């Protein structure tokens, strides 16, 4: 099992291009199931989750031609509508195949998905919403079985929570349904916009994606399309936070800062020194970073996927900070490991209390999930001495070989078996 050895008191210089988004790529890859025509995708990130999704799609019979960060997918000759545990257990995003498979086959059977241990992420909201399109579900022996009663029929769907996954699942099922579907209280994340734009390029009729009300007019079939995946706003935010922590001039490029507005405004309140342009952000050294109180929320609120990373910054800030985690109930597993590195963080229910004014000191730590693991990397870059981050397979799910992609800009990070 791989581990990262990180030399502390790191340097950082230059500029980095942000790759394509993991959270946009996975549902867009799944969208290929809806069409019998070619879907050509560019700016696909080289991540373990993407590799796992490709294997899952190939198990259904999708033909995939891969060339660097370009993929051509064709789902004309689907041969299977069952997703086994071994293919699904690694990714929560696997639940998103349910809507497209039911739209194509009228029945499907998938294993209950796995993924990070950051919360329960109940699938009830997916099943209840898809049920309103005319699908009956049964859960038995660890599998979800779905059957379309007669045909998919558009409907008004009121989500009890703006779930990203449920919004994506309903959109993909509804584009081949008969009639009109309206999703109320829909998720507004930029990745939802990206999925909608890709589907529209394939011939779907979706409006309102990116707002809390999405309208979908069903179509009979989709056509050939080419689409370029959006940048990864969580990777971008991670590297912005790294530069603020290391306190060096650094530029994060190939982004749309408007999708990082909550992070930008939070850092400005913390007295970070940022230059925000149309397609990049330059971080300049700051005199002093101060503590702040924040809470995570659905977009456009502060993203839960940046909670662990900004907590690492708060440990070094002048004065106390708090983070209230309102999305996932078990997303503070990195706290004990940050404390091993010298932080002073206490948890009370859904709130973390961070003391601040701490100097990280290198130690052995253990990654528990994707974003927790990168927070430990950030802390290690600023620590005195050497930090070893174990179980970095979590990290590889969302960051492309960080020892290379970030390591060429100053940090000394080595990967060992």
Catalytic residues: 116
**Cα-based distances in Å from 254 to 19, 232, 257, 378, 409:** 8, 10, 10, 21, 16
Read off the DSSP letter of residue 260. G
The CA distance from 309 to 325, in Å, is 13
**Cα-based distances in Å from 99 to 57, 145, 168, 186, 201:** 14, 12, 9, 16, 19
The CA distance from 406 to 389, in Å, is 16
Q: Which two tokens stand for residue 314?
A: 């708060």
CB neighbour burial string for 240-254, b if at least 16 within 10 angstroms, e if fewer:
bbbbbbbbbebbbeb
Read off the DSSP letter of residue 90. T
Could you give the 3-state DSSP secondary structure of residue 133?
coil
The CA distance from 87 to 114, in Å, is 10
Length of the chain measured in residues = 417
Longest dimension (CA), the chain: 65
For 106, other C-beta atoms within 10 Å of its C-beta total 17
The CA distance from 357 to 316, in Å, is 5
Q: Which two tokens stand for residue 350?
A: 């859904």
């Amino acid at each position: 099992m791989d581990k990262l050895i990180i030399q502390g008191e790191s340097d950082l210089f230059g500029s980095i291009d942000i790759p394509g988004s993991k959270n946009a790529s996975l549902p867009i890859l799944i969208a290929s199931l809806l069409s019998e025509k070619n879907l050509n995708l560019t700016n696909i990130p080289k991540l373990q989750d993407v590799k796992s999704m490709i294997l899952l799609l190939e198990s259904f019979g999708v033909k995939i031609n891969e060339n660097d960060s370009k993929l051509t997918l064709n789902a004309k000759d689907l041969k299977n509508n069952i997703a086994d545990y071994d293919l699904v257990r690694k990714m929560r995003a696997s639940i998103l195949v349910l809507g497209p498979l039911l739209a194509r086959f009228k029945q499907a059977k998938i294993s209950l998905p796995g993924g990070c241990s950051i919360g329960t992420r109940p699938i009830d909201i997916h099943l209840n919403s898809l049920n309103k399109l005319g699908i009956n579900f049964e859960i038995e022996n660890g599998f979800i079985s779905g059957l379309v009663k007669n045909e998919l029929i558009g409907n008004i769907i009121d989500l009890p929570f703006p779930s990203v996954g449920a919004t994506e699942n309903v959109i993909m099922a509804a584009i081949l349904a008969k009639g009109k579907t309206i999703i109320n209280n829909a998720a507004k994340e930029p990745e939802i916009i990206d999925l909608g734009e890709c589907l529209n390029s394939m011939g779907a009729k979706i409006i309102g994606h990116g707002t809390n009300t999405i309208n979908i007019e069903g179509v009979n079939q989709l056509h050939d399309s080419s689409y370029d995946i959006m940048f990864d706003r969580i990777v971008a935010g991670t590297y912005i936070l790294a530069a603020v922590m290391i306190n060096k001039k650094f530029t994060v490029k190939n982004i749309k800062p408007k999708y990082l507005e909550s992070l930008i405004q939070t850092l400005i309140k913390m007295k970070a020194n940022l230059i925000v342009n149309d397609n990049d952000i330059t971080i300049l050294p700051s005199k002093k970073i101060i503590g702040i109180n924040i809470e995570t929320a659905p977009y456009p609120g502060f993203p839960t996927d940046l909670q662990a990373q900004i907590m690492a910054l708060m440990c070094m800030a002048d004065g106390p900070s708090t983070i209230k985690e309102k999305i996932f109930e078990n997303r503070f597993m990195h706290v004990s490991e940050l404390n091993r590195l010298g932080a002073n963080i206490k948890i009370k229910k859904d709130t973390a209390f961070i003391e601040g004014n701490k100097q990280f000191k290198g130690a052995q730590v253990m990654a528990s999930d994707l974003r927790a693991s990168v927070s430990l990397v950030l802390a290690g870059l600023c620590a005195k001495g050497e930090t070893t981050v174990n179980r970095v397979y979590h990290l590889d799910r969302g960051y492309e070989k960080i020892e290379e992609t970030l390591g060429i800009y100053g940090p000394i990070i080595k990967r060992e078996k």
